[in-house]
Amino acid sequence: MRFFTLSYILLGVLLSISSLLPHTAKAQSERIKDFNQNGWYMYFGDHQFSDKWGVHTELQVRRYNYLKDPQQLLIRTGVNYNLTNNAMFTLGYGFIETYPYGEFPAADDFIEHRIYEQLQLKGNLARVGLTHRYRLEQRWVQSPVTSEYTYLNRARYMLRATLPLVGTTIEAKEPYLAAYDEIFVGFGNNIQRNIFDQNRAYLALGYKLSDAAAVEVGYLNHIVQKANGIVFEHNHTLQVGLTYNIDFRKQ
């Protein structure tokens, strides 16, 4: 259980940094809250080709006003390497296109190219399944005004928990509860006033369709600090996600 203790220490450090730095110590009167209603419709897949190697595939269609207007398109892939049965490293790439939305929209559509390195650790605490995800991102973000790219660094930490609603483990044809919290912290050159970048808190009802597939429907409380450090998005988000993992070793 040593990695659980280290995870909690890291989360505490990230929260402390984001709260103490003057970039985010804005008086409440200087902050502007932007409330939005979004819908994220997602597919995830980790496909195994051998005992050690696999590939990650992901598609997210994010909509503003739940379905009416575009918010963001995210396509992500990566190469997985299983360090142990409960530890996996991923090196990957993401393509993100963001559209103007909300009361403080971007001037135009803009694109982001992203490389990421990720370590995912799994374990259990009694009936609760726990996943710790550590991710570093190298981001090239296009300006919606000049179309030039700015290089940014970001660190992310997510703690996810699942609870079976039938029995002690989650089996095929059984429901479960899922929850996670993920914090994003920017660092390095070109970070402006949003060292605290965003936080995501999620609660969902899931159903394991088969050994390979599961679906979740849930609510995401998504807080984003804009680069100016003044506008804070409070996004009430419907999430619908399908996970489908193919094991090609069985083919």
Report the alpha-carbon distance of residue 123 to residue 1 in Å, rounded. Answer: 8
Tell me the CATH number at 234: 2.40.160
pLDDT tops 70 at residue 214: yes
Convert the pLDDT of each residue in 6-30 to its tens digit: 455 555 545 444 444 444 444 445 8
Report the alpha-carbon distance of residue 118 to residue 64 in Å, rounded. Answer: 28
Q: Where are the beta strands (DSSP E) in 11-127?
A: 32-48, 53-64, 69-84, 87-98, 110-125
DSSP state of 247: B
Provide the whole-model pTM.
0.87
Distance spanning both ends of the chain, measured CA to CA? 35
Q: Provide the residue range defining the domain that includes 128.
A: 2-250
> Nearest CA to 98 among 38, 44, 138, 156?
38
Count of domains observed in the chain: 1
